Amino acid sequence: MTRSMTCHCQAVMTEEDTDSLIAPVKSHFDQAHPELGLTTVNVRNYLESQDRSTGPTERLEVIGEIEIRPITPESAADVAHFFDVDAFPDNPAWGACYCMFYPRGGRSNENWGEEPWQENRGDQLARIRDGRTTGMLAYVNGKMVGWCNATARRELPGQGDGASDDVASVVCFAIAPPYRGHGVATRLLDGVVTGFADLGFARLEGYPVRDPGDERAAFHGSLGLFLRYGFAIVSDEPLVVELELA
């Protein structure tokens, strides 16, 4: 069985397997799209994400009851499967992240994207097992279908000054494609708002997208989502919202 990739310019590259495909894909982007600056690691991460991300992409018209659970050390296996298979079958370019963008420094990290996906995966699972990544997970019929990373700001270099131990940053939502448009993100944020005071946090901070072009661009959460829960805008550039927890 051969392995192929179709570029956004419609060029098709075909080889006998993923490993053999990396070099011609890299060569194509170097010649046809040098402005993207893709490295061999970028290409490998993308192709191997395509190989892993075999979950369905068609949106379900009806889903079952949404159950919200906190991220705990016991969640690691479910999170691994979710990001391996179900989170990004329609967007493999994000399949290497494993929500490690902010723990690695966010926009201040000029080398982001050069980590092999296995490194991001392993580090995120270690963070979950150690309790350094917190947040909420969504399940439908026992299957994990959504993720919300709401973690102590001190654990996320580059987010604010990181000085306050009682501030949690809501940085990322990821919903499996079949379950989008069913209020999963709303339920996840509700779980954070209602549950994080019990974890010792006094304030939540979010970094929403004001006008997302599509659902994938709203991975921080939309501004409307946060405003509905009583968050107030405290900065316009960058856009930051806050909520004091009772």
Task: Going residue by residue through the chain, which has 246 residues, state the pLDDT in tens, using 9 for 90 and above.
Answer: 789 999 989 999 999 999 999 999 999 999 999 999 999 999 999 999 999 999 999 999 999 999 999 999 999 999 999 999 999 999 999 999 999 999 998 888 888 889 999 999 999 999 999 999 999 999 999 999 999 999 999 999 877 655 677 899 999 999 999 999 999 999 999 999 999 988 889 999 999 988 776 666 678 899 999 999 999 999 998 899 999 997
What's the CA dihedral at 196, 223, 229, 203 to 10 degrees? 40
Burial class of 216 by CB neighbour count within 10 A (0 to 12, 13 to 18, 19+): middle
- The answer to whether position 106 is within a domain reads yes
Instruction: Return d(Cα 164, Cα 155) in angstroms, integer.
Output: 11
Burial class of 70 by CB neighbour count within 10 A (0 to 12, 13 to 18, 19+): middle
Per-residue pLDDT at 145: 98
What's the alpha-carbon Rg for the chain, to the nearest Å?
Answer: 19
Please state the separation of Cα 52 from the chain's center in Å: 16
Terminal Cα-to-Cα distance of the chain (whole angstroms):
58
Same domain, 16 and 104: no
Instruction: Return d(Cα 155, Cα 99) in angstroms, integer.
Output: 13
Tell me, what DSSP letter sits at residue 209? B
Residue 103 tokens read as 């723990």
- The answer to whether position 232 is within a domain reads yes
What residues make up the domain containing 48?
3-52
Same domain, 156 and 214: yes
- The CA-based diameter of the chain, rounded to the nearest angstrom, is 59
- The answer to whether position 61 is within a domain reads no
- The answer to whether position 182 is within a domain reads yes
Burial class of 107 by CB neighbour count within 10 A (0 to 12, 13 to 18, 19+): exposed
Say how many domains are in the chain: 2
- The answer to whether position 213 is within a domain reads yes
Contact 209, 222 (CB under 8 A): yes
Q: Please, which residues bridge with residue 175 across strands?
A: 146
Side chain identity, residue 160 = G
Same domain, 16 and 118: no
Same domain, 78 and 42: no
Enter the pTM of the model. Answer: 0.92
Contact 29, 38 (CB under 8 A): yes
Alpha helices in 82-201 (DSSP H): 117-130, 184-195
Torsion over CA: 112, 115, 116, 122 (sign): negative
Residue 80 tokens read as 């691994």
Please state the separation of Cα 60 from the chain's center in Å: 21
- The answer to whether position 30 is within a domain reads yes
Same domain, 123 and 96: yes
3-state secondary structure of 149: strand
- The answer to whether position 14 is within a domain reads yes
Same domain, 109 and 194: yes
Same domain, 9 and 115: no
Same domain, 41 and 148: no
Per-residue pLDDT at 174: 96
Per-residue pLDDT at 160: 61
Per-residue pLDDT at 117: 97
CB within 8 A of 189, min separation 6: which ones? 148, 170, 173, 221, 225, 226, 229
- The answer to whether position 60 is within a domain reads no
